[in-house]
A and B are shown apart, each in its own frame.
Chain A
Amino acid sequence: MRRALMALMGTAAGTVLLVGAKAGFSSPQSDRAMQPQSANSPTPEASPAPVDALPPDAGPSAAPAGASQPAAGATKTAAQPAGNKTTAPAARPTTAAAGRTTMKDGTFNGKPVYVEYGNVELSIVVSGGKITDIKVLDSPNDHSRSVQISKGALPRLRAEALAAQSADIDTVTGATYTSSGYKLSLQSAIDRASQA
């Protein structure tokens, strides 16, 4: 059960990107005023940033998986957790095939999870016992702000207004996100759906 849930975590966390992308990026729901740390305070290198503080995935799932994998034979790796796959054949829009949990239909918010640089909070929409949508309610450093564009364009790169658009896109490039936070918030949302 636990394994199944973790597998689901992995797939569903990944689906955040996809769902976001294919759903056409609804406008941010939280524009809490979270000021950029450095906006008007040019503190020099004194910032106590925890340099290696946040591994890409600090979650417990990272460690055990490969410990038993000795080396790089040319052959395939042994079967990993079999449930760790979501395949959505045919239909392109991503209804995340969410496995066989017994979840009640409805919308369930996950607990906000603090992840080093801010809160992550998700909600899931359950329909027909499956997760059909995942919304990001809050994410680190998520805020609106007015943008000032310097006219002093640097050589050979063009200065532009920083746009914030919704668009019909297939995928999104961005800094690697804090997947452990997404997993935790997602898990609590699924727990609530299962208990409902």
Chain B
Amino acid sequence: MRDVHSLVRVEHVMGMAVSLDLDDDLPIDRLESLADGVFDWLRLVDGVFSTYKPESEISRLARGQLRREDCSPIVGEVLDRCAELWAETGGYFDVNAGGTLDPSGYVKGWAVQRACDRLRAEGSANHCLNAGGDIYVRGAPRGRPRWRVGIRHPWEALSVAWVLEVSDTAVATSGTYERGLHVLNPFTGAPAKDLRSVTVVGPDLGTADAYATAALAMGLKGIDWLATLPGHECAVVTEDGRALRSDDLPVAPPLGS
């Protein structure tokens, strides 16, 4: 019987808990090395993009102390994609909504997606990276056909409202129930509060996260907007307790069936 390996690591990066589950049957030192690469990357991203660090490139760019062309290439890449997302979301995903440049709503998902793409290139076929509730999963954990991802119940912290079964998929959730009314409608400046939780499932985490944030900012009309997104599925809970989802959301069959 050969050794079976997997590795779970949790670190506090970018102001949140990030957990990595590597479920590949690789030597343990190889798994450690892969995990090191993931967290080194996330810390590098934090150093460049953190709006809480006055000396980060994004902070200096926002203050006009750094020109965009003098930033690291990843800054331009992120801001270009944010501009596209602004257009795709009808202006509701807006990195300037709070009055100062803040692409954090895209950076987290983008960084996780990049980390997982690199894990695949380096030989990991089965992993789950969860950054503060935004997730990318690839392959499957041992003993299951796919990853089972719970969508947190927006009023009961220890329950889940849906369970998804997914592989090679991004799952992003934006909501008001943890950090309060922190998403602004960029057109009114008012905090968005009609939707309590928006989950978007799709191929790319940065995009899914931006769509979820945009729908939250839209309020009730975000429900209809989500239904029109090609290639993405969604689950929504409104502030008055309605639960809605797209028909093709990859919901797990009930246990025992």
Contacts and interface: CB of A to CB of B under 8 A. Distances in A.
Given A36-B239, A149-B243, A175-B177, A10 B12 contact: yes
Contact of B242 (A51, A116, A149, A176): A149
B136 to A, nearest CB: 10
Interface string A112-152: 00001100000000000000000010011111110111100
Interface in A149-192: 149-150, 153-179
B130 interface: yes
A190 B15 CA distance: 21
A177 B178 contact: yes
A160 B238 CA distance: 12
Contact of A56 (B55, B130, B132, B188): B132
A18 to B, nearest CB: 5
A71 B133 contact: no
B179 A56 contact: yes
Given A51-B98, A87-B35, A171 B147 contact: yes
A170 B149 contact: yes
Interface in A35-88: 36, 38-39, 45, 47, 49-57, 61-63, 65-67, 69-72, 76-77, 80, 84-88
B-side binding surface: helix, strand, loop or mixed? mixed
A53 B180 CA distance: 9
B242 A150 contact: yes
A149 B245 CA distance: 13
B180 A86 contact: no
B14 to A, nearest CB: 8
Interface string B182-221: 1010001011010001010000000000000000000000
B103 to A, nearest CB: 14
B150 A173 contact: yes
B47 interface: yes
B242 A61 contact: no
Nearest to A162: B243
A30 B128 CA distance: 30
Given A28-B159, A157-B244, A11 B8 contact: no
Contacts of A136: 157-158
Given A56-B179, A87-B32, 11 more contacts: A13-B17, A38-B239, A47-B181, A50-B180, A52-B182, A86-B10, A92-B8, A164-B156, A171-B135, A177-B16, A177-B179
